[in-house]
Amino acid sequence: MLKNIIIYIILIAAGFAFSVLYYAWFSWFLFIAIICIPIASLLISLPFMLQTAIRGINAFCDTSLKLFDPFHIGIRGRNGKALICPFLKVKFKAVNEFADTKRKIVLKYSGRISRPVIVSTPEMGINCGNIEISAQYGRVYDFTGIFFLPVRLKFKGSAPVMPTPERPSILPGDSASIIIGYNPKNGGFSDDYELRQYRVGDSLKAIHWKLSSSRDDLIVKDPSEPIYKRLVIKLVLSDEAEENDFILARFLYVAQTLLAGGRSFYAFEPRGGSLEKIKSDKELESFLLSVYSPSGFAAEELFKDAAVYSILPEREEVSEQ
């Protein structure tokens, strides 16, 4: 390492000056000892350096995390074999393009690697997005940190940072315009129903007794279920990472609520063109990943005659297109 080399040069200069200004046998002996330090360090460290460089190391990282969780990345010996490293330095590059965040992560370790060595990076998890991480280099140094050998290391990984659900002020179901009609419900009862005359085979439980007595005729409640207009959740993202985190938090709450109620919907992010019909949690996760890595496909014209629920940085609104 450059810092260690500079320190060693200063140490040599100081030893030389001392040997010249204070002429004695031990002053030159001290100067020679300073010169031999890196050579002795290399001779002691070289077997361990060669073992680490030849065997190589493997890197790993979190596969996903929630907002504000620390991001972890680590190393271990290949095939689980232990390594002895005088001093190991591994440099990684982490990028979250969605949040416009870049970090250099340096893992330093000295000693015996028998278990995974892990470093935590909290700042990579403070915004939503997909963390792409790659290894820049790996080096094993001698004890002085002056000489080094490259270590075999090829690694690329990714970890999506998922939002934390947060209830919005307006929900899609708060708008009656989303329901465009009703269909007869097969079996069971419903809060929504139509009235009609009694037919043979109707359950006595379905009779509207109060209305029947006033009309002097048997009237039954015919249970029905609503016909929903096609629902599109539109994410109006901004250029601010914190605002986008807030938008995604509200979107996740709405999406999970709809899926829990058995409703499917379309999700659309116009800036990057991400679009997907969502019927399951897996498709919801797939959509979020597409938002983190936009494709540039525009499809607003597909949502004519739909109820559009827009989530903006400062509010939500329901409209029809």
Supply 151's token pair: 């270590």
| Distance, CA of 190 to CA of 176 (rounded, Å) | 17
Q: Is 260 in contact with 165 (CB distance < 8 Å)? A: no
| Distance, CA of 134 to CA of 318 (rounded, Å) | 42
Strand order in the sheet with 307-311: 274-278, 265-269, 231-235, 307-311, 316-320
Report which of residues 32 and 64 the model is more confident about: 64
Residues of the chain with CATH 2.60.40: 1-162
Q: What average pLDDT does range 25-48 have in this prediction?
A: 86
Whole-number mean pLDDT of the chain? 83
* Residue 190 pLDDT: 45
Summarised one tens digit per residue, pLDDT across range 268-291 is 888 777 788 899 999 999 999 989
What DSSP state is assigned to residue 237?
-
Query: Where would I find the beta strands (DSSP E) of 114-230?
Result: 117-121, 129-141, 148-150, 156-162, 179-184, 193-197, 219-228
Report which of residues 194 and 213 the model is more confident about: 213
Summarised one tens digit per residue, pLDDT across range 171-201 is 886 544 455 444 455 545 445 455 667 666 6
162: left (phi over 0), alpha (psi -120 to 50) or beta: beta
Strand order in the sheet with 71-77: 57-61, 71-77, 117-121
| Confidence band for 87, pLDDT divided at 50, 70 and 90 | very high
Name the nearest CA neighbour of 261 among 236, 286, 248, 278: 278
* Torsion angle in degrees (nearest 10) through CA of 77, 81, 87, 91: 0
* Torsion angle in degrees (nearest 10) through CA of 249, 252, 254, 260: -150
| Distance, CA of 255 to CA of 253 (rounded, Å) | 6
Q: Does domain 1-162 have CATH number 2.60.40?
A: yes
| Distance, CA of 159 to CA of 130 (rounded, Å) | 6
Q: What average pLDDT does range 11-20 have in this prediction?
A: 78
Segment of 102-111, 174-183, 212-221, 299-308 carrying the highest mean pLDDT: 102-111
From first CA to last CA, the distance across the chain in angstroms is: 62
Kindly state the percentage of the chain with pLDDT values over 70. Answer: 81
- Tracing tokens 């970890």 back to the chain, one arrives at 159
Name the nearest CA neighbour of 55 among 10, 26, 88: 88
Q: Does residue 227 have a pLDDT over 70?
A: no
Q: Is 138 in contact with 57 (CB distance < 8 Å)? A: yes
Close Cβ partners of 285 (under 8 Å, ≥ 6 residues apart):
160, 162
| Confidence band for 14, pLDDT divided at 50, 70 and 90 | confident
Kindly state the percentage of the chain with pLDDT values over 90. Answer: 50
**pTM across the whole model:** 0.75
Supply 196's token pair: 């009609």
- The 10 Å Cβ neighbour count of residue 261 is 8
Q: Does residue 206 have a pLDDT over 70?
A: no
What burial class does residue 197 get, using C-beta atoms within 10 Å of its C-beta: 0-12 exposed, 13-18 middle, 19+ buried?
A: exposed
Q: Does residue 5 have a pLDDT over 70?
A: yes
* Residue 320 pLDDT: 62
| Distance, CA of 299 to CA of 294 (rounded, Å) | 13
